[in-house]
Every structure is written in structure tokens, then in C-alpha cells.
Amino acid sequence: MTTDDERGRGRLTGPAAPDGPPHTPAAPAPGAPGPHAPLPDAVTCHALRYAFGETKAVDGVDLSVRTGEVFGLLGPNGAGKTTAIRCITTLLPVPAGMVRVFGHDAAKERMAVRRLLGYVPQQLSADAGLTGRENVTLFARVFDVSRRERAARVTQALAAVGLTEAAGRLAKTYSGGMIRRLELAQALVSAPRLLMLDEPTIGLDPIARTSVWEHINAVRAATGMTVLVTTHYMDEADQYCDRLALMHQGRIRALGTPDELRSALRARRRAARTSAARQPAPHTPADAPDTATPAAPAASPSTPAAPATSSSPSSAPSRPSDTAPTLEDVFRDVAGSGLDEQSGDFRDVRSTRRTANRVG
């Protein structure tokens, strides 16, 4: 059943038609644990590797995404985030044992894994020549939603992302934020247990970015689904993700909650200051010959005086260790050198530009 909150935003609550009887919980989906069984992790990656020719896009990633959390893969273009996502979705083949989704091996049980997923890629997936409702209906057919439930599921998905009134319009008339919400509805129509979003707000203005995340959170709160998202927006990762993995050059460099990552950097800075303070001062031999300091030449009336240098503490610039670290500080600390030089190639830039230009 689809309900509307005070702001008119729909919430996905079950497969019953909007005007039908109260929703009765359905039997557990295939692969779902029983009521007393321990919940498996939504995603488990063990020594995940994937290469394009000689280029190692993903290089030994170990990762666990807990059921029900919002987990973020954070990193610059070219870090390996999208490749990792495509391995998890079974779009890229990996050997058995590297990836499991709710306990299913992505290599041996591809169709079982796909039935559990909703996937929103970076690239445009909505058809500009179809209406919003037609786009979502098409995906309902692709995901093999039963004919009996299809119309209700489409209506629910559109309501969940706030597109009920615009459902009859062609997608080419939608704004960038509306297109992204339409793609979210396409992923939700199959009622997935795991929603995977690859750069869901790339190319959107701040208001549209916030709107997309509000709808993601509303659906998650209503359904309890797990969300795995890739992003290079530090503010989004900090605000919306329960845990983060910082990825650079195909490897996980750090993992934890945003607060844990910042606290770890603060501790490293504190340890570095303590270590530096314990170093002995430079030693000057007692019998070193006196050396005269050359006098500065007298300033002529035509020579401007050098600005005075203040030695007061208030004028000293604050050190990085004196300020609360940000996620960007954390990432630069764990990624080390080469962050700017290794941040993607032409293929990444082309993909980003194509994704950002969503309207039309």
C-alpha cells in the first residue's frame, strides 16, 4: 500500500493496491532468512580483484556491508568504485567465492543475486521518449514483476519518489533531479532487498541532490532495505552514510563510521605532535666559533621597508592538527601521494559529462 506523509511524499510499504485491504506481510522471499535465523551480511567481498588488461581496477578488496545500513564507497574518479559495484551486481564476472549477496555466491547464483538487487547506474537509464510511468513499467517487466502486481508496484514506486503527478509526462521534459528520481523508481519497482546506487547525485544542483537523498532515506525507513552507494561528495557521505570505505587506486584505504575515521586521524595527528615534541633540540657545540651576523644594508629612501614579522601566538597560522579534521582530510591522509594525479582518465571524464547532461 502506498501512503502519503504530510509533505505528500509517498512511502513504499507493500505490494497491495492503494485502495485494497490492509497489507498482510508476504512470505519470506527466496533466500531470505527465517524469523529466528541470524541475518547474513548484505554484501561480502573477499579479496575481490578485477583488471582491464594490465590495469588493476579493483585490487584485493575485502568488504562487508551489514544488512539494513547505508554503506558508502567514497573515492575520486578512477578509484575502482564503479568496477566494484558492477562485480557485486554480476555485470562483471568474478571467480566463485569473491562476492556474496545475502549469502548467495555471485559467480554460482547470478540470477538469485539479481533478484535481490535494485541498481541505479551512473549512465542514463531512463528513455526520454517514454513517460515516467512507461519507464517504470518497462523495468517492472524486465524484473519479471508479475502481471497481477505490476500496476500497483509501478504506482507505489512512482509515489515513493514523489513523481505521481508527473508520471504521465515524457521523461525528456523532466529536470535532472526528476530523472534521477525516476531511475530510483525503476530500481525500486522490484522491491529489492539491496539498493545499489552509483554516484546517484552526480551533475545535480544542491537542492536536487538533497531531494534525491530525502527520497532514498524515506524508502529505506519504510522498507528496511540495505543501501550501497558510491560517491565522491564528502558532505553526502558524512551526512547520509552509516559507514564508509575510502577507496583509492583499487584498494580500501580506511573503513568505519564518519566519526571513527575522523577520530582516527585526530589520534594520528596527536601522536605525531607528541613524537615531534620528544625529539631533542638541535645541538650546538660549546666550542663553536662565534660568527658575526652580517648587518642588513641600510634602507634608502627609495627602497620600501620589509613588512614587520610578528612573533605573537595570535598571528601564527593554525596547524592542521589544531582543527577538527574533515573527511577530505582523512582521505588525503590515508590515500597519500598521487591523489590528484591518479584521479581518473578520459573514460571517467566522458562518463561523468554524459551522466551530468541528463536532460534532453
pLDDT of 339 reads: 52
Highest mean pLDDT pick, 18-22, 75-79, 151-155, 202-206: 151-155
Other Cβ atoms less than 10 A from the Cβ of 186: the count is 27
Confidence of residue 206 (pLDDT cuts 50, 70, 90): very high
CA angle 251, 257, 263 (to 5 degrees): 95
Q: Is the pLDDT of residue 241 over 50?
A: yes
- Are 220 and 76 in a shared domain? yes
Residues 6+ apart with CB under 8 A from 195: 117, 118, 120, 187, 188, 216, 219, 220, 225, 226, 227, 228
pLDDT of 220 reads: 92
- Are 262 and 164 in a shared domain? no
Q: What is the pLDDT of residues 302-319, one digit of tens each?
A: 444 444 444 444 444 445
Cα 95 to Cα 222: distance, rounded to the nearest angstrom:
35
pLDDT of 345 reads: 38
Average pLDDT over residues 297-301: 45
pLDDT of 300 reads: 45
- Residue type (1 letter), 277: A
- Are 42 and 103 in a shared domain? yes
pLDDT of 271 reads: 82
Average pLDDT over residues 210-224: 92
pLDDT of 17 reads: 37
- Are 348 and 222 in a shared domain? yes
Q: What is the DSSP letter of 320?
A: G
Instruction: Quote the mean pLDDT of the chain.
Output: 79
Cα 3 to Cα 294: distance, rounded to the nearest angstrom:
83
The answer to whether residue 20 sits within a structural domain is: no
Q: Is the pLDDT of residue 128 over 70?
A: yes
State which residues form the domain around 247. Answer: 37-116+211-273+325-355
Q: Is the pLDDT of residue 286 over 80?
A: no
Average pLDDT over residues 88-102: 96
What are the C-alpha distances in Å from 185 to residues 112, 160, 281, 327, 337?
21, 7, 64, 30, 40
The answer to whether residue 26 sits within a structural domain is: no
Which grid cell is 267?
589520534
The answer to whether residue 45 sits within a structural domain is: yes
- Are 184 and 41 in a shared domain? no
Q: What is the pLDDT of residues 21-73, one digit of tens each?
A: 444 444 444 445 555 666 789 999 999 999 999 999 999 999 999 999 999 99
- Are 221 and 184 in a shared domain? no
Confidence of residue 7 (pLDDT cuts 50, 70, 90): very low
Angle between the 132-142 and 147-160 helix axes, to the nearest 10 degrees? 130
Interior/surface letters 41-52, b for 16+ CB within 10 angstroms, e for the rest: bbbbbeebbbee
Confidence of residue 323 (pLDDT cuts 50, 70, 90): confident
Average pLDDT over residues 206-213: 92
pLDDT of 270 reads: 81
- Are 186 and 217 in a shared domain? no
- Are 90 and 222 in a shared domain? yes
Q: What is the pLDDT of residues 181-190, one digit of tens each?
A: 999 999 999 9
Instruction: Please tell me the total count of domains within the chain.
Output: 2
- Are 187 and 132 in a shared domain? yes
Stretch (H or E) spanning 311: none
pLDDT of 289 reads: 53
Confidence of residue 331 (pLDDT cuts 50, 70, 90): confident
- Are 234 and 338 in a shared domain? yes
Residue 359 and residue 179 in contact, taking contact as beta carbons nearer than 8 Å: yes
The answer to whether residue 268 sits within a structural domain is: yes
- Are 48 and 88 in a shared domain? yes
CATH code of 233's domain: 3.40.50.300
The answer to whether residue 25 sits within a structural domain is: no
Confidence of residue 292 (pLDDT cuts 50, 70, 90): very low
Q: Is the pLDDT of residue 290 over 90?
A: no
248 has which bridge partners? 251
- Residue type (1 letter), 136: V
The answer to whether residue 199 sits within a structural domain is: no
